[in-house]
Amino acid sequence: MNKISIIGAGMTGATTAHWLAERELADLVLVDVVEGMPQGKALDMAEAMPIVGKDVEVVGSNDYAATKNSDIIIITAGLPRKPGMSRDDLLKTNAEIVGKAATETLKYSPDAMFIVLTNPLDTMAYLTMKMTKLPRSRVIGQAGVLDSARMRAFVAMETGVSVENIQCYVLGGHGDEMVPLTRMSNIAGIPLRDYLPADKLDAIVARTRKGGGEIVNLLKTGSAFYAPSAACAQMAEAILKDRHLIVPCAASMEGEYGLKDMFFGVPVMLGSNGMEKIIEYKLDADEKAAFDKSATAVKETHDALKSLVKI
Ligand code: TXD
């Protein structure tokens, strides 16, 4: 059986474990700093396995040693912003948490792939690669699968067509400047722009960009977790099953799309070698401008990180 360890057993971490257990994809370890919590959630999930008929071990721990020999490490550990805390304060705190999680788990699982979820996403994935010094194929950030799924869900709600027929590609940084590529998106092969009137499509694009905020406003405490964790599970499955699945993820850029020394949301191929390939779309002038704007925003956060933490 494969082994996946999830660092941070909060809303996204525990729900990722839930989706993965249902797929009987790997034995699972939940690690958190809160005493008893990962153990309790893991035990509860393990007790559900007889009901769903899956032979999966689920254990919780406060010790990174429990992650030994994992095939995949998923990092969701982090703090949300508290009153009085600046974005830079949060950046520094989460950088310490994510940096430690990445370097500690790597000691126990030197061959693992890393999927990063903690915000600010692109920058935390960048930090993970820098701190672990791993090749870029082994560090992938989750954002685009989620953002694209949100857009697909909104198109399905608008049209009544099955979500399976709807393909959408949301690229760029995981922030307000993300780039929903409507030209590449389609319903059963029909370009979205031909299927939907412009005003409806514009509304879907705007809603996608603010998709995270919409959930935060509704929940009042905490942020989205079902869809983000489903996205992590899909990425982990693509790697373990060597699917060569093309999905938008945050990847380390080495000249693709004219970008370097940064993580950015682009279509990648996921298989047993991790991030196996970056797919380069031919962008038109408007798309390129939107890409550049988003890249500038991501770079700013990368630069803020570099001024706070030595990497
Ligand atoms: O698309 C995306 N990338 C995102 C990102 C979608 C949803 C959530 N996104 C971000 O993931 C969010 O902004 C946060 O930065 C992370 C985790 O979100 P989640 O909703 O799971 O937060 P919780 O429920 O607060 O869980 C975080 C857990 C919590 O249990 C802490 O005790 C734990 O992280 N934590 C730690 N675990 C291990 N080790 C350390 N050091 C640690 N510090 C905190």
User: pTM for the whole thing?
Assistant: 0.98
pLDDT value at residue 12: 97
State residue 224's pLDDT score: 95
* Lining residues, ligand 1, CB within 6 Å: 7-13, 31-34, 76-80, 97, 101, 117-119, 121, 142-143, 146, 174, 222-225, 228
* Res 81: pLDDT: 75
Burial class for 309, CB neighbours closer than 10 Å (0-12, 13-18, 19+)? middle
pLDDT at position 80: 78
Distance, CA of 3 to CA of 25 (rounded, Å) = 8
50-94 tens-digit pLDDT: 999 999 999 999 999 999 999 999 999 999 777 777 777 889 999
CA separation for the pair 263, 257 (Å, rounded): 12
Mutate to test the pocket of ligand 1, among 223, 226, 229, 232 (most ligand atoms within 8 A of CB): 223
Place of tokens 């905490």: 222
CB 131 within 8 A of CB 103: yes
Report the topology of domain 2-141. Rossmann fold (3.40.50)
Residue written as token pair 């009987």: 24
What would you measure as the largest C-alpha separation in the chain, in angstroms?
Answer: 55
pLDDT in tens, 231-263: 999 999 999 999 999 999 999 999 999 999 999
CATH 3.90.110.10: does it fit domain 144-308?
A: yes
Nearest CA to ligand 1 atom 30: 10
Nearest CA to 95 among 73, 120, 117, 115?
Answer: 120
Mean pLDDT, consecutive 10-residue stretches, the chain (311 aa), reads: 98 98 98 98 98 98 98 95 77 96 98 97 97 98 98 98 98 94 97 97 97 92 95 98 98 97 98 98 96 96 94 87
Query: Is 174 annotated as catalytic?
Result: yes
Domain locations in the chain?
Answer: 2-141, 144-308
